[in-house]
Amino acid sequence: MPYFDAASAAPLHPVARQALLASLDEGWADPARLYREGRRARLLLDAAREAAADAVGCRADELVFTPSGTRAVHSGIAGALAGRRRAGRHLIVSSVEHSSVLHSAEVFEAEGGTVTRVPVRRTGAVTAEAYEDALRADTALACLQSANHEVGTEQPVAAVAEVCRAAGVPLLVDAAQSLGWGPVEGPWSLLTASAHKWGGPSGVGLLVVRKGVRFAVRGPADERESGRAAGFENLPAIVAAAASLRAVRAEAAAEAARLRELTRRIRARVPELVPDVEVVGDPERRLPGTVTFSCLYVDGETLLHELDRAGFSVSSGSSCTSSTLTPSHVLRAMGVLSEGNVRVSLPPGTAEEDVERFLALLPGTVAGVREKLGAPAPVADVRQDVRDDVLVVDALGRRCPIPVIELAKVIGDVPVGGTVRVLSDDEAARLDIPAWCAMREQEYVGEEPADRGSAYLVRRLV
């Protein structure tokens, strides 16, 4: 069964498995003890730290192991903000950061800090100029991911790091998605990563704090990992994480070239094979194995289930694949279509034949989901407002992608220049109706309040 969700968790690398099993026998003792078993465990821990630091491009005494990448982010942001509290109480993040960063920002705001969320272009990338404009005299810390976890877009980290260094502000880089492919360039100050993203075991994160960066540990003090990661080290998992990072780096150049060709094929052929599709993310500055697209008139959850039944494991940022009605914050910040969203993230070793089978299967799967959601669906309440020559579509209580489906059904019923007024209380409509207009060459007039939900106005141009 082809697994196409490496951006969530990469399959365990064979080297990680070997190192994990070997270190279970050799690395079970407390590395802080001076007896023989403890010394042996300390040697393994030190070797793992040296290997990880070499891959990151930092000093070994700048790197600590944490229980997860999320914990590394939370500790890194909290410690850097606390260390620079005299500089100010202002934090900068991009609008497409991983939820661990955004949750840390929310906590900081709740404690009285201020946060600037830098917008992104439609490709999902920030600009160094936008970060420069966000900097203030009281900025304590800036954060930027190296590459986006949902659409694969690489960020201009080196340029942003230069801007921050010139202003005397440390930059924390979330390198979870990219570290397995290579080191992060530029004069960054802090870095976080997570082993299960590159084929290491889960439960191991990295936190790097460069020498000279002011950092104050939050929470109870602990003598382990320089006081920055409390608790007994999971030494077998740490050894496996470091060994697999070294292994994937040795394979990275060749595998990246191969996966880039496969994802280029997906990006080019999906719009040819499936009508009404928007491929999102930067077409060039992107992770090697990640490609994301959204399909009009498709329920993302149903599409993922159908692909799973056909033997393909993929992910999605659609609001209809989660317990909430809010679209992915990444897709929303980019201003792209969210309904029917599919993220394909190929792990190293993906076979070309599996990609071809996916491309052969996808058109029929999407068509089947569209048929289920289209014809059998109850007809929405459509009425003509003769005073304003406006056709009203009442899609209140109908969830994505039904409001857009009903809009598409009736747009031909108004004359060119006429208006359709879509009533919806689904948050996804705020993103998907303008996206539909852009894809179908109709004019999105805007949004206005309604008795329930919102009214979205669309003028027919063609």
Please report, to the nearest 10 degrees, the dihedral formed by the alpha carbons of residues 402, 405, 407, 411 taken in order. -170
Structure tokens at 459: 């003028």
Q: Give me the amino acid identity at 197.
A: K
Cis peptide before 415 (omega within 30 of 0): no
CA-CA-CA-CA torsion sign (255, 261, 266, 267)? positive
- Tell me how far CA of residue 338 lies from CA of 179, 231, 263, in angstroms: 28, 41, 20
| Rounded Cα distance, 336 and 216, in Å | 39
Q: How far does CA 131 lie from the centroid of its chain?
A: 19
Measure Cα distances from 352 to 151, 207, 347, 359 in Å: 21, 36, 12, 11
What one-letter code names the amino acid at 201?
P
Distance CA 159, CA 125 (A): 12
Helix/strand/coil for 193? strand
Q: Which DSSP helix (H) or strand (E) runs through 171?
A: strand 171-174
- Positions marked catalytic: 320
d(CA 97, CA 147): 9
* Maximum CA extent, the chain: 89
CA distances from 37 to 30, 147, 391 (A): 8, 40, 78
Task: Give me the residue label for tokens 């404690």.
Answer: 111
What's the rounded Cα separation, in Å, for the pair 31 and 46? 9
To the nearest 10°, the Cα dihedral for 284, 186, 13, 353?
Answer: 10
Q: Which amino acid is at 449?
A: P
Contacts of residue 169, Cβ cutoff 8 Å, sequence gap at least 6: 92, 135, 139, 140, 141, 142
Which residues, at least 6 apart from 65, have a Cβ–Cβ distance to it below 8 Å?
A: 48, 49, 52, 204, 205, 206, 207, 225, 229, 233, 238, 241
